[in-house]
Amino acid sequence: MPTWLRWRRWSASWSRQPSLDFPTFLLSKQRARVERFDKYESSLIAHVSAAAQEAARATMRTDAQSAEQASATNTASFAARPTTTKPVKMSVPTFDGKDSDSLVFWVRGIEIALSAGQIYDARAQVAFALSNLGGRARA
């Protein structure tokens, strides 16, 4: 990811004034802030990916166990059963619009949850995002 894009995401997470002062900071201070944000974002992505992979493994184990049981009792009935994927349970904190909440981090969390849950339909994405709004943000 280019540095300018990281800076843009980082600066959007602060109010207008600190992002205007950002270019006047020392280069080392700028780099440290961008690296901290990048580290946070990377760890968040890794956490959600690991949770999605673990859920997929658990689903595969459950399906394998049920397949063994079905083949032991009746092979024909298992072959006729359609295979379906189980949804991943996602948890994203509610955005209330308070000053301490960061809209950028909330939006990024929503994006990660949408991709992990494989929600690609635009209406479903909007419905999921709206379901995680609360307080002033919902109004």
Q: In this predicted model, what pLDDT tens digit does every residue of 17-69 receive, in sequence order?
A: 455 555 667 778 878 888 888 888 888 888 888 888 888 888 888 888 887 77
Number of neighbouring beta carbons within 10 Å of residue 112: 19
Q: How far apart are CA 36 and CA 96, in angstroms?
A: 25
- Nearest residue to 108 (alpha-carbon basis) of 124, 92, 119, 123: 92
Write out the E strands in 43-104. Answer: none
Of residues 4 and 48, more confidence is placed in 48
**Burial (CB count <10 Å: 0-12, 13-18, 19+), residue 74:** exposed
Q: How far apart are CA 38 and CA 10, in angstroms?
A: 9
